Every structure is written in structure tokens, then in C-alpha cells.
Amino acid sequence: MDWIISVSSAERARGELLPETAREATAQFRKHGCIVLRGGLAPGVVDAMHQEYLARFGGLNGRGMQAQAESPPPTRFTQVGDCRYEITLRMNGAFGSPEVIANPLLLRFLMPLLGEDLRLSSFTSVVSHPGAGLQHVHRDHAYLYNEPSVNQVMPVYAVNVSVPMIDVDMETGPTGIWPGSHMWDSQTELPPLDTVTSFPFLRGDCVLMDYRTLHAGLPNRGNRIRPIAYLVYARTWFFDEVNHPMRVSLDMRMEEYQMLPESIRPLLTRALAQNMRNRWLEVDVREADAVRRRPQPTSSKIGRNELCPCGSGKKYKHCHGQLVPAS
């Protein structure tokens, strides 16, 4: 397959593809709406992500995931298929490493496609548990314009980077992809399932997909839990308002944001904005609480020297509070 591009350890160490590799990868991405950068991440980085995943969520079986997804918001879990769950990842530990969220090789590849000022739009994981069925075939986002002629020439506006945290063989179920579907005229017509392209994912793969490319999680017929991390990068003007309605799409605390190198903070401004919004909610809750605790007046009696409540501007004693002489 011409869209699986091998990344050498020298390119990885330099944090940049060789110019001819980058040219080839960009051409394939534009044509197919997807590529694999095989070896894009070092095995140690991916293994650390998997360890972090296990430490946080390894104790949850399918039923535990289901209960989390059904609990009232806020929750970081959403069901996205049968025995398949999407989880917003808190960006700390291995999931907060600049090597993962702001990987130089990936960013240098993405900048010509999305602009130098691209933004991280979401960071989640989709996990399929043994027994997961075939997911519905979908695009991550609808076309921005309905006119087919526009979509044909519309450049990419968001890229989903999947990072499998384990080697995913065909039994465990990788993601099936329909190359070229980002440019199809109709966005309602779904292709026959037997036209899907699928292949095992390896640790270290970065599977890049145009947000318009059709794909579906394949069934998990094995006995391993299969977590894949998803980093979505977008043009500055594109905001995804469909995929994370009941949860945050980026979860990074202020102290973690402030520890990031200055140079990558612009990439993460949306994490900062979501964090700020949470802080305002906390302020709202604190203020409402303070009002509730404030001592309430015990009597509604009006003092004689206070303004009359009728709005006349006179003192109460000279207005409605005048003493009526005893007859």
C-alpha cells in the first residue's frame, strides 16, 4: 500500500521527515485522505502511554465502562459502539508529554496541511473490549459545504491522528478505512463493507485521517482490550461541535499548562480555554453557595427613617409609615 510510509529512527530522532519522505507522505495524504507514518512514535513513548492507560482505566471491564458512560454528566466516558468507549484523557503523565501531544515530527508534517497556527482540538482514547462488534461507518465530521464541487477542492481542515497503544492484529480489530472517501461527491451514500481497507496496526504507527474520510472500528474478536489514542489537530477557525457534546474534549489543568514549554502553548490554547471555563463554573458555584449561606433578614419590618418602599423617595415615617393620630 503506497500510503504506509516508513519513518526511520534517524528521522524520528531529528523530529522531521526527510524532504522526499515528507513530499511523498503529503501527496499520498491528499490523494487518499489517510496515511500511516509507520514508526512515527518511539516504542518507549507508546509503551508509556499504554502503562498510563492501564493505571487509569485497566480496572474497568466492559460493564464498568458502560456504567461510567451512563452516569450523569460530567463524565469523561461516551459509548461509541457496542463494547466500544471513547474517553477524554487527562493530559498529564505520559498523556501530557510534549513528545505525544506536540510531537515535532507530526507537527512539522501537519503544518503545511493545517497552517503553522494549527490547534489541538481533542485528545481522547477509543477502547474496544473483547466482543465489540463492527462500528457504524462514519466520517468524523460532515463536509463543511454540501455542494460536491466545493468538497472536491476543499483542503483538509482537521486531521485525526490515531496512535494504537498495543499491536492490533486483525483479530483484535484495527480501524477499517475507505481511502479516497474524503473527496466522494455524496456524503450520505455508504460503501459496501467488503470494500474496506484494513491491516494490522503496529505500536509506533501514527494513522492520520482527514476528518472527512470514512472509517469504522472493526470487531474485537480477540481477548485483549484495545485502546487507541486520538489526537485531533485543526485549523484555527475550525471547532468541532459534534463529537464531544457532553464532555470536555481536552482535559489539562492550569498547573500542567503552565509547565509546558512556551513554544507549544499556542497549540494548546483550547485546553487553556476549556480549563478557564471550568474555573468560571467553580466561581459560579462558590458564589451561589455564599449567597445561600448569607444570613437572611429575620424580619420584614421597615425602619421609620428608611426610604419608603413605595418609591416616593420620602422617608417611611413621612409617607406610608405616618402615625395615624388616635381618635
The dihedrals phi and psi of 222, each to the nearest 5 degrees, come to: -95, -160
Q: How far is the CB of 17 from ligand AKG (least distance, A)?
A: 25
Q: How far is the CB of 255 from ligand AKG (least distance, A)?
A: 30
Among residues 197 and 278, whose Cβ is nearest to ligand AKG?
197
CA distance 33 to 14: 26
Bridge partners of 161, per DSSP, are 208, 231
Q: How far is the CB of 173 from ligand AKG (least distance, A)?
A: 7
Task: Name the residue with the smallest CB distance to ligand AKG.
Answer: 217
Q: Which amino acid is at 113?
A: L
What are the cell numbers at 187?
456524503
**Binding residues for ligand AKG, per CB under 6 A?**
80, 84, 86, 126, 128, 135, 175, 215, 217, 228
Cα–Cα separations (whole angstroms), residue 143 to 78, 95, 169, 178: 23, 30, 31, 16
Among residues 159 and 228, whose Cβ is nearest to ligand AKG?
228
Among residues 95 and 230, whose Cβ is nearest to ligand AKG?
230
Bridge partners of 104, per DSSP, are none
Q: How far is the CB of 62 from ligand AKG (least distance, A)?
A: 14
3-state secondary structure of 46: helix
Among residues 35 and 126, whose Cβ is nearest to ligand AKG?
126
Among residues 164 and 204, whose Cβ is nearest to ligand AKG?
164
Of the candidates 156, 137, 154, 134, the residue with the CA atom closest to the CA atom of residue 146: 154
Q: How far is the CB of 175 from ligand AKG (least distance, A)?
A: 3
* Residue 75 CB-half CA count within 13 A: 14
